[in-house]
Amino acid sequence: MRLVRARRQHDGWVPWAFIFPTVVGISAFYLWPTLQSVYFSFTEWGPFGGTTWIGAENYLRLAGDPQVLKALGNTALYTAVTLLSIPLAIWLASLLNRPGLRGRTFFRILFFLPVVTVPAAIAMVWKLMFNGEFGVINYVLSLVGITGPFWLQTPVVSIVAVAVVGIWTTLGFNMIILGAGLQTIPDELYEAAELDGASPVRRLLHVTVPLLTPSIFFVTTITVIASLKVFDLVFLMIGPTNPVIDDAQTLVYLFYDEGFLVNDKGYAAAIGVVVLLVIAAVTLVQFRLQRRWVHYE
């Protein structure tokens, strides 16, 4: 009896067949490359292929490389600016969630459209809009008497300009997630706050935001991880031939530059490991801090 039951508990060869493609593909293209990349980070690449083990040399080199420090700073700046999309998204989502509001679907489409664009194609548009001479952005600024900079040719300013596009492409997504979170807040809480004479701003800060912390935590984590990996917008809007790139590059850009333009793949692998460690550290800190400010029901 026990034997029969034991046999029936397993589904024979079928599960193995079902997971076979995934397990083989993941092993070949993700698991093995993870190990290999860590190995590469301890090697030097000859000009015609072939790797030599050089121990921690790449890591010692990057610890003293001002480029790495600058890339870290730019990545942090990009991330900080992009995070502004979260308060903005909370505000917009709370407006979109108001009872009796008409045209919700229409507004949602307007704000979400940037999320589904092709980064390479939309970067062309923003590059033109940020043009220092005839860009729309400086034109609009000139209408209110401001002389805009050469956005994409000025150190620090260029990465901020790219981050503005970062906000633009993440805002709609964050709005949707936060909007879903808003719908779980019971109306009674707002009614009670109103009876106590709380103003709309106080209600936003003392009812909406605290009850929304699980969603805020989720979008913050996702936005930070995505921002720490920013590459395509930097590559496309600033690009390898722009002299300002040395001052504007982010960690993953530096990784690409060393690995595929300079072709120093061992050093690039070490930078890749640093990217992994930075993401792991930041995510760990976020999860630790979570206990202090995220309220679950």
Partner 1 sequence: MSSRRGGSNVVAYVVLGVGGLLMVSPFLYQISASLMTNAEVTAIPKRLLPETIQWGNYPAALAAFPFWDQLRNTVLFTVIQTVCQVLFASMAGYAFARLKFAGARPIFAILLSILMIPAELLLISQYQIVQNLGLLNTIAGLVAPGIVTVFGTFMMRQFFLGLPRELSDAAKIDGAGPVTTFVRIMLPLAMPGVSALAIIVAISSWGAFLWPLIVATYSENMPLAVGIASFAGEHETDYPQMMAASLVVMLPVMIFFVALQRRVIAGLAFSGIRG
| Binding flags for partner 1, 87-116, as an x/- string (CB under 8 A) | ----xx--xx-xxxx---x-xxxxxxxxxx
The helix/strand/coil state of 237 is helix
> Using CB under 8 A, which residues numbered 145 to 174 contact partner 1?
168-173
Among 67, 154, 218, 220, binds partner 1 (CB under 8 A): 218
Shortest spacing between CB 159 and partner 1, in angstroms = 17
Residue entry with tokens 């030599």: 52
> Using CB under 8 A, which residues numbered 57 to 86 contact partner 1?
none
The identity of residue 3, as a single letter, is: L
Closer to partner 1 by Cβ: residue 155 or 263: 263
Among 2, 5, 21, 47, binds partner 1 (CB under 8 A): 21
Residue 286 burial class via C-beta count within 10 angstroms: exposed 0-12, middle 13-18, buried 19 and up? middle
How many residues bind to partner 1 according to rule CB under 8 A? 106
Among 87, 199, 287, 295, binds partner 1 (CB under 8 A): 199
Shortest spacing between CB 185 and partner 1, in angstroms = 11
Instruction: By CB under 8 A, tell whether 296 contacts partner 1.
Output: no
The helix/strand/coil state of 53 is strand
Q: How many CB atoms lie within 10 A of CB 202?
A: 12
Shortest spacing between CB 165 and partner 1, in angstroms = 9
Token reading at 290: 């979570």
Shortest spacing between CB 81 and partner 1, in angstroms = 15
Within 13 Å of residue 15, how many CA atoms lie on the same side as its CB? 4
Q: Is the dihedral of CA 22, 28, 33, 39 positive or negative?
A: positive
- Beta carbons within 8 Å of 248's beta carbon, 6+ residues apart: 74, 155, 158, 159, 162, 234, 238, 242
Closer to partner 1 by Cβ: residue 158 or 208: 208
Only one of the segments 54-62, 126-134, 155-163, 287-295 lies at the binding site for partner 1 (rule: CB under 8 A); that segment is: 126-134
For 116, which DSSP code? Answer: G
Shortest spacing between CB 246 and partner 1, in angstroms = 19
